[in-house]
Amino acid sequence: MTQQFTISRLGHQGDGIADGPVYIPRTLPGEVVSGTLVGQLLEDMRVETPSDQRVKAPCRHYKACGGCQLQHASDAFVADWKVEIVRAALSAQGLKAPMRPIHTSPERSRRRATIAVRRTKKGTLAGFHGRASDTITEIPDCHLLDPALIAAIPVAEALALLGGSRKGVLAVTLTLSEGGLDIAVSGGKPLDGPLELALAQATEKQGLARLSWDGEVIAMRQPPVQRFGIAGVIPPPGAFLQATKDGEQALTRAVLEATQGAKRVVDLFAGSGTFSLPLAQEAEVHAVEGESAMTQALDQGWRKASGLKRVTCEARDLFRRPLMSDEFKGFDAVVLDPPRAGAEAQVAELAQAQPPVIAYVSCNPITFARDAKTLVDAGYALEWVQVVDQFRWSSHTELAARFVLNPAR
Q: Which residues are catalytic?
A: 363
Could you give the CA distance from residue 73 to residue 57 in angstroms, rounded to a whole number? Answer: 8
Q: Are 178 and 192 in contact (CB under 8 A)?
A: no
16-30 b/e with 16+ CB inside 10 Å = b? Answer: bbbeeebbbbbbbbb
Which 3 state secondary structure label does DSSP give 115?
A: strand
Q: Using the 8-state DSSP alphabet, how is residue 69 labeled? A: S
DSSP of 118-151: EE-SSSEEEEEEPTTSS-EE--TT-SSB-HHHHH
Q: CA-based Rg of the chain, rounded to a whole angstrom?
A: 23
Q: Are 65 and 126 in contact (CB under 8 A)?
A: no
Could you give the CA distance from residue 23 to residue 12 in angstroms, rounded to a whole number? Answer: 11
Distance set, CA 263 to CA 267, 357, 383 (Å): 13, 12, 20
Which 3 state secondary structure label does DSSP give 387?
A: strand
Omega prior to 190 cis, within 30 of 0: no
**Distance from first CA to last CA of the chain, Å, rounded?**
61
Q: Using the 8-state DSSP alphabet, how is residue 328 labeled? A: G
Torsion angle, CA of 34/36/42/43, rounded to 10 degrees? -100
Could you give the CA distance from residue 355 to residue 334 in angstroms, rounded to a whole number? Answer: 7
